[in-house]
Amino acid sequence: MSTIVKIIFLTAALSIAALADAGETSGQLRVSVNIVASCRFSVDTATLSFGDVDQSAGSAEAHTDLGVRCSSQQPYAIGFDYGQHAQGGQRRMSNGNGGVAYQLYADASHRQPLGPHGSDGEVRGLGNGDEQTIPVYGKLDLDRNTPTGMYSDVVRMTVTW
């Protein structure tokens, strides 16, 4: 046999031996995800300001919009507590010495009072994946003897889904 044929034969034999030493195995990679519904307010702190109200005005109104974003097709409910200075179910702003009663509503005609979870005053909706605007209307009635000064309150809002 010629030397070239021997080299080719030896190279082929070594290649086959190398392939015989190579191994292969297989396995599986399991991939999963659990998509969960969510809701969140667009801002952590919203403001409803009646501004400057004349002591003899008798009443005042205010309006603000909240933003909530919930998963598509996800039902949600927003509850509003009665605030830090409430007396029973009556919301009150305080200046430390006195108070001013007020109410929050879901409508401009003041027929749908906003209330805590489990009450008729919850705001209910169906998420669409985008931010949805929730209007909040405020109304206060002033006694002509209400002392002048700055009054405030904090109402906690909670969205459940």
Asked if pLDDT for residue 43 goes beyond 90, the answer is: no
Residue 31 lies in a domain: no
Owning domain of residue 94: 39-160
Residue 154 lies in a domain: yes
Residue 156 lies in a domain: yes
Please state, rounded to an integer, the average pLDDT across all residues of the chain. Answer: 91
End-to-end CA distance of the chain: 85
pLDDT digits (tens, 9 = 90+) for 100-146: 999 999 999 999 999 999 999 999 999 999 999 999 999 999 988 89
Coil, strand or helix at 156: coil
DSSP characters over 34-102: -----EEES-S----------TT--EEEEEEEEEEEE-TT-EEEEEE---TT-BTTBEEEE-SS-EEEE
Residue 14 lies in a domain: no
Residue 16 lies in a domain: no
CA distances from 2 to 10, 12, 16, 97 (A): 12, 15, 21, 115
Residue 122 lies in a domain: yes
- Of 8, 10, 126, give the one whose Cα is nearest residue 72: 126
Quote the percentage of the chain above a pLDDT of 70.
Answer: 87
Residue 6 lies in a domain: no
Q: pTM of the entire structure?
A: 0.79
- What total of structural domains would you count in the chain? 1
Residue 88 lies in a domain: yes
- Output the domain CATH number for residue 61: 2.60.40.1090
pLDDT at 15: 60
